């Protein structure tokens, strides 16, 4: 082949190779630049991907004074004991039929499983506990060791989704169960100031709806739980999510408190819906606003106009009443069902229980599987009202 022709062919191939390489690099850069960054924060599959867990957590060698194994009846894959100032973790060995040493943490004689008014985290199916020592809380994973020491640790959960809220000083963080910090803020996530007294308020967050109340400089606001992005700035005396029941929250409105009155607030528009405040806002459902004022329950539209003339009087006034589905002892419960709303009022009995999980009512030791069954039984320790949204009627059912 003529040398000049050969040289020309080589030059063409080189140019093509150079162009191809350039295109490849360009595509890679474009792909990176256009990657999806719209979903920061929580990755619910993260906790199952152990390979991505930070490697700073290690298995510590067995201290000499600690047992090699425990001979206990098999109940869970993991077991533990406190011995000579150590928290000692064991894992069950099916071949040897015993719990064998796995890991340990030197935590002093006062170390114990953390137990707060509402929270005791000990999961022996996955091997993870929260320990308390000298006003500090420690997350300890049996397979990886300590995740760190914090001023306070809390657990938030919706069904099977769980996350730790941890706090050191003025900084609070959202953490996966495997120790990954998702984000941090200056202030409180949920309301840690309540913990240890009356427990974490269940109206402070919803993993399902991706919302969480936060506290900053003694004022309350709302943020996106998966990213920490603030939806409503912390400027109110108090703020709570509005609950329907069955783990459902209103995603359009929240309730805010100013000067001892509760107001309805639109999340997307970031403004009050009504200028009128109430002693309590119970719920907002299908454009029906249920409120409590002067120890009576009222049904109103979103302009504050009464929908019915009949008002339900309650026998007691409750300061910052929790309109809680689960326990209606000295309380009032409501239930949203289809296009209707039930109101349940206890009549002085101390043994009343209403469960929104299975919709059952327990009255003085006897269980009724639904509201309808309870009404048919003729019992009247719980008075049941039903508000028909379409016809705007409020009916006493028993």
pLDDT at 127 over 50: yes
Q: What is the DSSP string of 40-102?
A: -S--TTGGG-GGGS-TT--PPPPPTTS-SEE-----SSEEEEEETTEEEEEEEETTTTEEEEE
Question: What is the DSSP secondary structure assignment for residue 309, as one 8-state letter?
Answer: S
Per-residue pLDDT tens digits for 22-54: 555 554 444 433 333 333 333 333 344 444 555
Query: What pLDDT does 302 receive?
Result: 87
pLDDT above 70 as % of the chain: 72
Residue 2 has pLDDT above 70, yes or no: no
Confidence bin at 184 (pLDDT 50/70/90):
very high
Pairing of strands 171-175, 211-216: unpaired
pLDDT at 86: 94
Burial of 43 (0-12, 13-18, 19+ CB in 10 A): middle
pLDDT at 245: 62
pLDDT by residue (tens digit) across 312-355?
666 544 333 343 433 333 456 777 777 788 887 776 654 555 55
Q: What is the pLDDT of residues 348-388, one digit of tens each?
A: 654 555 554 456 677 777 888 888 888 899 888 888 888 88
Sequence ranges of the domains in the chain: 59-143
pLDDT score, position 40 = 34
Tell me the per-residue pLDDT of 66-97, one tens digit each, with 9 for 90 and over. Answer: 999 998 777 899 999 999 899 999 999 989 89
266, β-bridge pairs: 253, 271
Distance CA 258, CA 239 (A): 9
Chain centre to alpha carbon of residue 394: 34
The answer to whether the Cα torsion of 187, 193, 196, 199 is positive or negative is negative
Beta bridge partners of 139: 130
Contact 124, 170 (CB under 8 A): no
- 278 DSSP assignment: B
Band of residue 4 on the pLDDT scale cut at 50, 70, 90: low
How far is the C-alpha of 78 from the C-alpha of 143, rounded, in Å? 10
């Amino acid at each position: 082949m003529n040398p000049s022709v050969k040289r020309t062919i080589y030059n063409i191939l080189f140019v093509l190779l150079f162009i191809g390489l350039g295109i490849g690099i360009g595509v890679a850069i474009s792909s990176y630049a256009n990657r999806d960054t719209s979903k920061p924060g929580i990755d619910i599959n993260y906790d199952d991907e152990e390979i991505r867990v930070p490697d700073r957590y290690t298995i510590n060698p067995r201290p000499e004074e600690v047992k090699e194994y425990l001979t206990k009846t098999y109940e869970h894959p993991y077991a533990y004991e406190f011995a000579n100032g150590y928290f000692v973790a064991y894992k069950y060995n099916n071949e040897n039929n015993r719990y064998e040493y796995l890991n340990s943490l030197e935590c002093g004689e006062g170390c114990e499983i953390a137990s707060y008014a509402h929270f005791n985290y000990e999961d022996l199916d996955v091997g993870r506990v929260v320990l308390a020592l000298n006003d500090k809380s420690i997350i300890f994973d049996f397979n990886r060791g300590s995740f760190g020491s914090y001023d306070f640790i809390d657990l938030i959960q919706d069904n099977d989704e769980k996350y730790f809220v941890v706090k050191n000083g003025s900084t609070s963080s959202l953490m996966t169960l495997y120790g990954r910090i998702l984000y941090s803020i200056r202030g409180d996530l949920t309301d840690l100031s309540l913990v240890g007294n009356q427990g974490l308020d269940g109206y402070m967050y919803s993993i399902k709806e991706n919302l969480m109340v936060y506290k900053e400089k003694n004022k309350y606001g709302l943020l996106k739980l998966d990213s920490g992005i603030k939806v409503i700035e912390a400027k109110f005396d108090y703020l709570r999510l509005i609950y329907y029941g069955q783990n459902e929250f209103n995603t359009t409105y929240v309730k805010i408190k100013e000067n001892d009155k509760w107001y309805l607030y639109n999340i997307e528009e970031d403004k009050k819906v009504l200028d009128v405040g109430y002693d309590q806002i119970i719920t907002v459902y299908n454009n029906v606003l249920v409120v409590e004022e002067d120890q009576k329950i009222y049904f109103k539209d979103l302009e504050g106009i009464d929908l019915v003339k009949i008002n339900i009087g309650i026998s007691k006034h409750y300061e910052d009443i929790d309109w809680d589905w689960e326990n209606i002892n000295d309380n009032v419960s409501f239930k949203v069902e289809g296009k209707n709303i039930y109101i349940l009022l206890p009549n002085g009995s101390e043994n009343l229980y209403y469960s929104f999980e299975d919709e059952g009512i327990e009255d003085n030791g006897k269980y009724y599987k639904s509201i309808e069954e309870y009404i048919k039984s003729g019992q009247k320790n719980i008075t049941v009202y039903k508000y028909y949204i379409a016809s705007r009627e409020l009916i006493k059912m028993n």
